Amino acid sequence: MKPIIIISTYPNKKSITKIANELVQNKIAACVNITKISSIYSWQGKIENATEYLALFKTTQKNKKSLKEKIKASHPYDVPEIAEINITSINKSYLKWLIESTI
C-alpha cells in the first residue's frame, strides 16, 4: 500500500486540531503533524503576512480521496491548500505502522 502526505495550512491551532483528531480517530490519517509558520502570500490584491499552522496529514493511497474531501468540507478558508506529496521512499517499519493505523 502506497503512503501519501497531504499538506494544508490553517489560520489557527484550534481549527486544525479539531479536524486532525477526527481524522486520526476515524483512521483516515495515521498521523497529523502541526507546526506554526509565517506565510507571505497575495490575497485579493494585497500582500498578506500571516501566522498559520501547517498540517502534514500522513495516510495511504486508499484513504487519499476521503481525506481530501474531509479537509475541503471542514476547512475555514475559502480557498484551502490541499496538496499531495507522493512518497517514493519510506522505511518499512514506519510504513507498516502507517498502514496498520489506517485500517
| Domains of the chain, earliest start first | 3-100 (3.30.70.120)
pTM confidence score: 0.92
**What is the C-alpha separation between 102 and 70, in angstroms, rounded?**
15
- Assess contact for 85 and 64: CB atoms under 8 A: no
SS3 74: helix
pLDDT of residue 103: 85
10 Å CB burial of residue 14 (0-12, 13-18, 19+) is exposed
Average pLDDT in the 47-51 region?
A: 96
Q: What pLDDT, in 10s, does the model give residues 18-42?
A: 999 999 999 999 999 999 999 999 9
Q: What pLDDT, in 10s, does the model give residues 71-84?
A: 999 999 999 999 99
For residue 87, give the C-alpha cell. Answer: 512518497
Residue 1 has pLDDT above 90, yes or no: no
Average pLDDT in the 1-12 region?
A: 95
